[in-house]
Amino acid sequence: MPPSDGPSAADQQLIDHAARHGLTVTAKQLAGWRRAGLLPGNIPGGGLGRGRGSTSTPPPESLDLVLALARRAGRGKRPTDLALLLFADGHPVPEATVRAAFRAAVDSANLPGEDDSPGNARELEEHVDHVMDRLTEAGQAFTLVPARARRIDERIARILGELPAELAELDKNTEPTPMTPQDASLAAVTATLGGTMSVQEIGDLLRGMNPGMAAHPVASLVETTQQDVPEAADLVMADDGSLTFLPEGDARDQLRVLADTATLEDLTVGWRTAQQVRAWAPGLCERVEAELDAGQPGEAVTEWLHGRGLPFGVAVLETLRDRRWPPSSGALSALLLLFQRQMYARLDGLVPGCQWRVLEMPGVLPPPVRDLILTAVGPETSPADEAAD
C-alpha cells in the first residue's frame, strides 16, 4: 500500500511523467500494477540520514510502462490481459509476468465437466465420456463450418457446378463418413485430452468441414497415407492409425511447457503470426465475395478452392468461428502456432527428405503460418531459387 502521507518521491516522478502526457495515474494504481507484476519496484537509493528514511528512483523502463498501462488499463481489464497487450506492443513487461500470462491463457481453455470429473475417471476414455456428457447436457457442439464460409461455398458451387470428374476420381474412399458436429466435438475433446487423432478421423473431419463437396481428394489422400507411403507412415503412425509424432497426454500440458520455455522472441513471433492470420482470413473472404458479387470468379475464388480442404482453409474456418479474440485467445493461438512449428520440425527429423516445398505452394498454408513453419523446416530449394537457376 502507498504510504498514508502520499506517494513516495519516486512514485511522484511516475505520476508527474504521466501527467505531462495527459494521463492520470495514482499511487494506488502504481501499487496495484506492482502487485500484479506489471511494473517493477523502485530502485532503492541511499539513506537521507537522521532517521529521515531513504530515497528511491523508478527504473528507466517504468516510464514507458506507466504510460502504456495508463492508456491500456480500464475497468474489467485483467492483469493477465494487460501483460499480454503490453508485451505484444513491445513494452518491457517483466518476463515472469509474461510467461505467467501465457500459462493463464492455456489454463482458461477449460472443457465442460473437467472440474467435476469423478475421482475414479483414471482412464482417458472415462474422462472423455464425462466431458462429452457435459457438452451434450449444455447443448454445445463443434461448429464445423461458420455461416460466412458456408455462404461462400454455396455461391461458388452455384457458379462452378460439380467437381471435375478427373478430380473426383482422386477420392479413393467409396464410403466416406464425414463428421457431424457431435463427432467433431468428440474428436476435439479426445485430441485435447489424449494428444492423438487417427488419420481416419482427420479425413472425416476434413470431409465434415467441407460438406458441399461430393468428393474430397485431400481427405482421401490423408486417409490412404499408410498405403501410399508405407515407409514414411510407419515412422509417424501407430498400428491403430494415430499420429505418433504428437506427444501423448493432455495437449495443453505441451502448451504450458512452451509458455515456460519458448524464448520471448518466439512468443512475440507466434503472437504476431496469429494476428496476421486474423487479418488475412477475413481479407480473403472479402476478396472472394467481391469476385462473386461481380459475377467474375478470379484469383481469390481459385485460392479459396485450392485451399478449402487444406490447413489454409482450416485456418479460415477457425478465424471465422472465433469472432471474439480477447488477449487470452491471442496468447493461446500464438502457443498453438509455435507447437505446430515444433511438430513440423520433429516430423522433419523423423522423415528426412520430406517435400517441404509443398508448403510453399499457394493454398496449402496461410501465408503468415507458412513463413513461420518454413523457419523451422524449410525446403532445400525454394521456388524463387529454382526460378533463379
- pLDDT at res. 157: 86
Phi, psi (deg, nearest 5) at residue 164: -55, 145
- pLDDT at res. 175: 75
Q: Report whether pLDDT(340) > 60.
A: yes
Among 119-133, 136-150, 258-272, 351-365, the range with the most confident prediction by mean pLDDT is 258-272
Q: Report whether pLDDT(10) > 70.
A: yes
Position with higher pLDDT, 182 vs 370: 370
What are the angstrom distances between the C-alpha of 150 and each of 178, 365, 372? 16, 20, 28
What are the angstrom distances between the C-alpha of 363 and each of 37, 72, 301, 350, 367? 42, 37, 11, 25, 9
- pLDDT at res. 274: 95
Q: From 105, 119, 17, select the one nearest 66 (Cα to Cα).
A: 17
Distance of alpha carbon 183 from alpha carbon 34, whole angstroms: 47
Confidence at 108, pLDDT banded by 50, 70, 90: confident
The alpha carbon of 185 is separated from its chain's Cα centroid by a whole number of angstroms, namely: 18
The alpha carbon of 153 is separated from its chain's Cα centroid by a whole number of angstroms, namely: 25
Q: Report whether pLDDT(334) > 90.
A: yes
Angle between helices 264-293 and 299-307 (to 10 degrees): 120
Q: Report whether pLDDT(242) > 60.
A: no
- pLDDT at res. 186: 62
- pLDDT at res. 21: 95
Q: Which amino acid is at 5?
A: D
Sequential DSSP letters for 305-370: HHHTTSHHHHHHHHHHH-----HHHHHHHHHHHHHHHHHHHHHHHHSTT--GGGGGSTTTS-HHHH
Position with higher pLDDT, 131 vs 108: 108
Q: What's the chain's average pLDDT?
A: 78
Report the percent of the chain where pLDDT is more than 90: 37
Q: Report whether pLDDT(156) > 80.
A: yes
Which residues of 168-260 form beta strands (DSSP E)? none
Report the percent of the chain where pLDDT is more than 70: 66
- Are 17 and 67 a contacting pair, CB within 8 Å? yes
Q: Report whether pLDDT(323) > 60.
A: yes
Confidence at 140, pLDDT banded by 50, 70, 90: low
Q: From 179, 177, 160, 168, select the one nearest 217 (Cα to Cα).
A: 168
Q: How many CB atoms lie within 10 A of CB 250?
A: 15
- pLDDT at res. 47: 45
- pLDDT at res. 382: 41
- pLDDT at res. 37: 93
Confidence at 254, pLDDT banded by 50, 70, 90: confident
Average pLDDT of the residues in 358-381: 79
Q: Report whether pLDDT(281) > 50.
A: yes
pLDDT tens for each residue of 35-58: 999 999 888 864 444 444 457 888
Q: From 383, 37, 103, select the one nearest 257 (Cα to Cα).
A: 103
Position with higher pLDDT, 350 vs 304: 304
Number of helices followed by number of strands (H, E) in the chain:
20, 2
Q: Report whether pLDDT(388) > 80.
A: no
Confidence at 301, pLDDT banded by 50, 70, 90: very high
Q: Which amino acid is at 140?
A: Q
Query: What are the grid coordinates assigned to 2, written together?
Result: 502507498
Average pLDDT of the residues in 22-31: 93
- pLDDT at res. 290: 97
Confidence at 325, pLDDT banded by 50, 70, 90: confident
Give the three-class secondary structure for 52: coil
Q: Report whether pLDDT(235) > 50.
A: no
Out of 73-82, 152-161, 193-202, 282-291, pick the least confident.
193-202
Position with higher pLDDT, 299 vs 55: 299
Phi, psi (deg, nearest 5) at residue 165: -60, -40
Position with higher pLDDT, 276 vs 140: 276
pLDDT tens for each residue of 188-227: 656 566 556 666 667 776 777 777 776 767 677 666 655 5
Confidence at 261, pLDDT banded by 50, 70, 90: very high
Distance of alpha carbon 180 from alpha carbon 98, whole angstroms: 38
